[in-house]
Structure 1
Amino acid sequence: MTPLKGVRILDLTHALAGPFCTYHLGLLGAEIVKVEPPRVGDDFRDFAPDTFDAVNGGKQSVTIDLKQEAGRALLHDLARGADVLIENFRPDAARKLGVDWDVLRAANPKLVYCSISGFGASGPRAAWPAVEWSVQAAAGLSAMYLDDDADPRDLGIGMLDIFSGTSAVIAILSAILEQRRTGEGRRLEVTMADAALTLASSGLAQQLSGERVGKVKRRPAVGRFKARDGRVFVMAAHQRWFGKLAEVLGAPSLLDDERFATPAARDANAEALRETIEARLAARDAVEWQDALLAAGVPSAAVVQLRSLVESGYYDDAGMIHDVWSQARGKAQRAAGATFSGRTIRAAPGEVPALGAQTEAALGRFGVTAERLEALRKDAVI
């Protein structure tokens, strides 16, 4: 199943959010031409090679020096033969390089042009350099789940790059549908700051209502409690679930204890309740409690490491995990495939390209002649 077969995408992105986006468009069948600077390429090739390999399988690597006039002219020609262009330059960089929306739209009015940035092309933060963690801090996201007294080196959970990339996929798919219907292109702008607001929306609702400022509200019978060999997550916020928890723990009398009989009482005696729960859980392993609680209808799960879950083969039948071969590194690594469509699409990524490995072949498919290729190579444009 390749719904984007025949769609040609120019990928001018680097690092994570943009490559994650184009990787998934490639898994959906699009042809991804990854444009990289000669000799250095995407900085994640050296800085984070495992991450690079995980989100660049199946792409064609073409090297073009966009700082040279001949390189910009070449990209303009490629844009004429493309359906989509995706970039994640800082907002003013694309304009300075002459590959911004206004210029490329003139070359191809049907082009869908997607920009991914930290804070957008306008506004007081537009010029800020942006990474996952700085945007989380500036957008109020990390303050929702990291305590002020936590180790300052604790960065939290990397989520904005991935969610921004996913948001870009959704926007691009929508624009491709519009392009097919109207024959016109569109400029799309996806920002990590907007993605942060979306991820924080439920917590924001609580804050705006005055319920709580800061972390998500803690509930006394919800959390990752210590069992004999690890931790088990339990969701027993509702009275019915709490009653089931008490039964599974072999302590039905908890419902008669005035400290725990009602949600308000449990709130007031949260620490005592935690100690009581964990004293019972200490008798058995986390998986045993998980199974017993699930059988009773209480949402529960033993807390596991993601690596161990992947190695268990849990995701294999879903078509989510693949061995990805890196041409440059000469080895394979396991990586996630179509992470938001794998159970339906079941697409396996191709090889991770070495820097510039497909330059001549890909440019030839865009109509660049052998004579021009020779001249571009001679001038170190490609």
Structure 2
Amino acid sequence: MTDGSETGGARGALDGLVVCDLSRILAGPTATQLLGDLGATVVKIENPGSGGDDTRAWGPPYAETHDGQSDLSAYFMAANRNKLSVAADLATEEGAALVRAIAAEADVVIENFKPGGLVKYGLDHETLRAAHPRLVYCSISGFGQTGPNRELPGYDLMAQGYGGIMSLTGPANGAPHKVGVGIADVMCGMYACVGILAALRHRDSTGEGQHIDLSLVDAQMAWLINEGTNYLASGRDPERRGNAHPNIAPYDVYPCADGHVILAVGNDGQFRRFAAAMGRPELGQDPRFMTNPLRLENRVALTEIVTELMAAMPRCDILGRLAEVKVPAGPIHTVAEALGSEQARARGAVISVPHPDTLRGEVQLLGNPLKFSATPVTVRRPPPRVGQDGSGILDRLRALRTTPSGRS
């Protein structure tokens, strides 16, 4: 087993922590990949009969492998580096017993089965925590462990629809849209990671583990943020405005002579500087537009004026003028442009990870955005093949207890 010491790198903040990962698809794997990036040893449990995590088959594209197997989809690789993969069929006593033994060595168990779905295997939180009181157990589901919808399945699209974000996303006069990536899953995974770390802090202070009950829909509603509180404060359902901001104007995407440009005016001073830079200084003194509340009140007229100004100029001219006066504006990159930018290269947004099973000998992944001064993020393992790490897994986990970074 490799960790920071074996690769010659600095130790991660979570070195010595063991995570038993019974989750699949995106929310749970996002959380456990982040824990793994921070140094934890993550043991991903996969059902060999179903081909492992569902997302292994969510392709193309796939990484090309020497054996020709298609179990390394780009989707799977997005959330499953820094993990060991152990094949175990929970429907068999042998498989369930193996996972219980792994859980006994773990600090954290995370799962996303239907509520109550692990009771018959002795892997539910009550059973495991009765045997291991220090265990932190995180359950992720579509709607949570309680409530009238607890039995309903949870998928990102369903959570975005139920939780309100789709009603705010898309063209003002068009159909509701989901966000372009599985953001309900990803944000739920982030909340899970925060909750797990907080529960570990409590465990280390008191010796007491606990159960974390987290749902996609709860998490999605929580990150409605200002639009959620806009409704709570006003009693009015927020409107879908495309790229426009509900509380700031002008803050939108505008067509220009050679494409589109983002304008994000955040205060009255910026608006006056914007107007002057665009050759219309009188707009900054126009009684309709002098303050942000007035600009919101007169949003339609303002949008027509700004749209006309932008349409007559090329993007580079607009961005140059606004950069000089420190008014926020920017381009709309494609994914290729974003990941290929000088900023992305400088910040490590894309990383190459050695992978001996692939024809290229490596896979390219998205980097972790966290930059630590003392305990840097490390990528110690590429996304695993199904069940590749099952041999001797219990001995490997027990060996962690005797290392300097172990738990005993």
Q: Give unmatched runs, 5+ long, in structure 2.
A: 1-10, 60-72, 240-244, 400-408
Give distance in 2, aligned partners of 1:27 and 1:364: 22
Give the match for residue 42 of structure 1.
53
Give distance in 2, aligned partners of 1:223 and 1:108: 53
Are residue 288 (structure 1) and residue 288 (structure 2) matched? no
Number of equivalenced pairs: 366
Give distance in 1, aligned partners of 2:226 and 2:315: 29
Give the match for residue 43 of structure 2.
33
Are residue 236 (structure 1) and residue 265 (structure 2) matched? yes
- Alpha-carbon shift at residue 343 of structure 1 (Å): 5.8
Question: Structure 2: which amino acid aligns with 1:334?
Answer: Q
- Alpha-carbon shift at residue 66 of structure 1 (Å): 0.6
Give distance in 2, aligned partners of 1:155 and 1:23: 24
Mean Cα deviation higher: 68-77 or 138-147: 138-147
Are residue 252 (structure 1) and residue 281 (structure 2) matched? yes
Q: Choose which of 26, 35, 48 in structure 2 pairs with 1:16.
A: 26
Q: TM-score by structure 2 length? A: 0.82
The verdict on how the C-alpha distance between 1:13 and 1:252 changes in structure 2, with shifts beyond 3 A counting, is same
- Alpha-carbon shift at residue 126 of structure 1 (Å): 0.4
Give the match for residue 131 of structure 1.
155
Q: Give the match's secondary structure for 2:222.
A: helix
Give the conservation status (yes or no) of the 8 Å contact 2:160–2:178. Answer: no
Give the match for residue 155 of structure 1.
178
Q: Give the match's secondary structure for 2:391.
A: helix
Give the conservation status (yes or no) of the 8 Å contact 1:90–1:129. Answer: yes
Give the conservation status (yes or no) of the 8 Å contact 1:327–1:352. Answer: no
Q: Give the match's secondary structure for 2:379.
A: coil
Q: Choose which of 339, 348, 352 in structure 1 pairs with 2:379.
A: 348
Give distance in 1, aligned partners of 2:296 and 2:202: 51
Q: TM-score by structure 1 length? A: 0.87
Give distance in 2, aligned partners of 1:223 and 1:200: 19
Give the conservation status (yes or no) of the 8 Å contact 1:222–1:234. Answer: yes
Give the conservation status (yes or no) of the 8 Å contact 2:144–2:214. Answer: yes
Give the match for residue 299 of structure 1.
328
Give distance in 2, aligned partners of 1:161 and 1:342: 23
How do residues 316-331 of structure 1 correspond to structure 2 at under 5 angstroms?
316-325=345-354, 330-331=359-360
How do residues 135-284 of structure 1 correspond to structure 2 at under 5 angstroms?
135-146=159-170, 150-151=174-175, 154-157=177-180, 158-210=182-234, 212-215=236-239, 217=246, 219-236=248-265, 238-255=267-284, 260=289, 266-267=295-296, 269-284=298-313
Give distance in 1, aligned partners of 2:196 and 2:387: 26
Mean Cα deviation higher: 231-240 or 183-192: 231-240
Q: Give the match's secondary structure for 2:253.
A: strand
Give the conservation status (yes or no) of the 8 Å contact 1:319–1:347. Answer: no
Give distance in 1, aligned partners of 2:160 and 2:45: 28
Give distance in 2, aligned partners of 1:220 and 1:184: 50
Mean Cα deviation higher: 187-196 or 304-313: 304-313
Q: Give the match's secondary structure for 1:61.
A: strand
Question: Structure 1: which amino acid aligns with 2:335?
Answer: L
The verdict on how the C-alpha distance between 1:124 and 1:289 changes in structure 2, with shifts beyond 3 A counting, is same
Give the match for residue 66 of structure 2.
none
The verdict on how the C-alpha distance between 1:329 and 1:107 changes in structure 2, with shifts beyond 3 A counting, is farther
Give the conservation status (yes or no) of the 8 Å contact 2:85–2:386. Answer: yes
Q: Give the match's secondary structure for 1:322.
A: strand
Q: Give the match's secondary structure for 1:353.
A: coil
Give the match for residue 357 of structure 1.
388
Residues 308-356 of structure 1: per-residue CA shift (max 9 Å, x gap): 12112422332342124556654544322323x2465342352111101
